Structure 1
Amino acid sequence: MTLLPGNIPSAALNVPVPISAPPYQTPPKTMHWSGISSVIMKYRTDGNLVRDLIPSNLSVEQSPIVTIMFVDYGDSPMGTCHEVIQFVEVVYNGKKYNYSMFLVLDNQIAVYIGREVFGFPKVLGQVDFNPKQADSSNVIRGSCTAHTDTSGPVVESSFAPVNRQCAHGPLHPGSEGSLVLNLRLIPSSVPGAAPSVREFVEVDFNLQDGEVWEGDWDLKFPSLADSDSFHRLPVVERLSGHLVRNSTSTVTLGDQAFGF
């Protein structure tokens, strides 16, 4: 019997599976979007509650900042995409980051790329958010249902624009200028073995330019399911709320990952 080897060089494989038809192209170091609109809400929560949701090599202040973002990605190269993001401020190796807790979005390709390459904890779901359409009270509303709990929304938001502001440099989640920190984790296929990948990934994520409004906001977390973390980080102190329309965004991978 004659055996015929495959024609794809195995030592050079660096694409997502299936390798015969990768679901996405390996992204560049920096990805760009235009026409993005977002409502960004920041508040402080109880640090003791955060501790139950993060690895032991991360630390939090007593009242860390949580950022909730509803995002319409506009002219996305992956097609229509809406997302809800939950960040919480943490400290790793003495440096402050915005740690990605939970992300829900409605674009499958974006889930693949976000999870596999960037380490974002993305799950598929239904996101209802139209930043260009307000109700009769001039309120922009948003809600999302995650596939982890289809009984109802995991988060609902309302935002009423009050004061238009001049754009002043990039807008970041959490503390201005802090990078995002993702836990990229792939369990081993061997039962009981160490994970195949376990590392923290630095990501620089920001919104630039566009039309910026400051306003009043409200958040509700109807779901009490263990499968999402929104309701587990309640609002203790409101900090700020902004609406950003027609902005540009960049997501840049760091030059190194931190394995542990």
Structure 2
Amino acid sequence: MNQGEVIKQFTTPLDAPAFTMGPYLFHNREYMNILYRTDLDALRKIVPEPLKIEDSLVRFEIMKMPDVTGLGSYTECGQVIPVSFGGEEGEYLHAMYVDSFAAISSGREISAYPKKLGKPNLFVDSDTLVGTLDYGSLRVATATMGYKHFPLDLSEARKEICKPNFMIKKMPGYDGHPRICELVRSQITDITIHGAWSGPARIEFFSHAFAPMSDLPVLEVISASHIITDLTLSSPTVLHDYLTSY
């Protein structure tokens, strides 16, 4: 393979790429979102400058994605934190746990999604929507919500899904020092809402060294939503370069 052919390849391995090039189109992407109040000091320890914390809130989300062009079927979950940057309100993507290598590698390489391996699941148990996360063989989170109890206004569902997302892109150099360290922004704009509901919800975390969701403890459940969509992810843009600003 000559140098020109090497450059043309999207990612490695050169003869069997870890993931395919997007755009990634999501059909019947299903969300379970639980907004809860947590400890403000715990938030201050993990939200990076120059983002500003708006309130002592966290959103636990599980996303079941049964039909994604190029990536197939997978599920992910995580914690996102309401923040602002330069006066714009959005959400900081703190941690994401995913059961697909292609989704993990593409999310980290192409964008800045903080993805690592986990075993999330979203399913209906009798009259209850259930979301769980296991890390290895151990349970980390269990969330429950009344299944389609109350219709949620579709415009409100759109606002919830289409908030700007802020993420940290970090890539080390060969000397161990950061080669890339940036705050980036992305936002979903191409979306169709098929249905949205709210209902009573509860969530419980279990301590784990490598999936420390319990570090942001649940003090009060504020609201919950169940949303089904079609959407396309957008490319991120750089907001802040830590290497030139520090």
TM-score (norm 2): 0.86
Structure 1: segments with no counterpart, 5+ residues: 1-5
Aligned residue in 2 for 1:141: 130
The answer on 1:9 being equivalent to 2:4 is: yes
Alignment check: 8 A CA contact 2:202 2:221 kept: no
CA distance in 2, matches of 1:169, 1:163: 13
Q: Of residues 14, 27, 36 in structure 2, which corresponds to 1:19? A: 14
Secondary structure of 1:189's partner? coil
Structure 2: segments with no counterpart, 5+ residues: none
Aligned residue in 2 for 1:157: 143
Aligned residue in 2 for 1:3: none
CA distance in 1, matches of 2:200, 2:192: 21
Aligned residue in 2 for 1:258: 240
The structure 1 segments of at least 4 consecutive aligned residues displaced by more than 4 Å after TM superposition are 10-14
Aligned residue in 1 for 2:226: 243
TM-score (norm 1): 0.82
CA distance in 1, matches of 2:238, 2:5: 24
| Deviation of 1:259 (Å) | 1.8
Aligned residue in 2 for 1:112: 105
Partner amino acid, structure 2, of 1:109: A
Identify which range, 8-17 or 203-212, moves more after superposition: 8-17
Give CA deviations for 1:95-118 in whole Å, capped at 9, x if unaligned.
322111111111110001111111
Aligned residue in 1 for 2:158: 171
Aligned residue in 1 for 2:64: 72
Alignment of 1:52-91 (within 5 A): 52-61=45-54, 63-77=55-69, 78-91=71-84
Bigger share in strand: 2
Identify which range, 176-185 or 18-27, moves more after superposition: 18-27
Partner amino acid, structure 2, of 1:139: T
CA distance in 2, matches of 1:11, 1:259: 29
CA distance in 1, matches of 2:6, 2:159: 39
| Deviation of 1:199 (Å) | 0.8
In structure 2, the CA distance between the partners of 1:47 and 1:205, relative to structure 1 (3 Å rule), is farther
Alignment check: 8 A CA contact 2:28 2:67 kept: yes
The answer on 1:184 being equivalent to 2:169 is: yes
| Deviation of 1:170 (Å) | 5.1
CA distance in 2, matches of 1:64, 1:72: 27
CA distance in 2, matches of 1:244, 1:251: 16
Larger Rg: 1
Bigger share in helix: 2
CA distance in 1, matches of 2:210, 2:109: 20
| Deviation of 1:145 (Å) | 1.3
Partner amino acid, structure 2, of 1:248: D
State, as a whole percentage, how many aligned pairs show the same letter.
19
Give CA deviations for 1:191-233 in whole Å, capped at 9, x if unaligned.
4x3x1111112111376311211101110001x2232231111
Alignment check: 8 A CA contact 2:33 2:59 kept: yes
Aligned residue in 1 for 2:199: 215
Q: CA RMSD in A?
A: 2.4
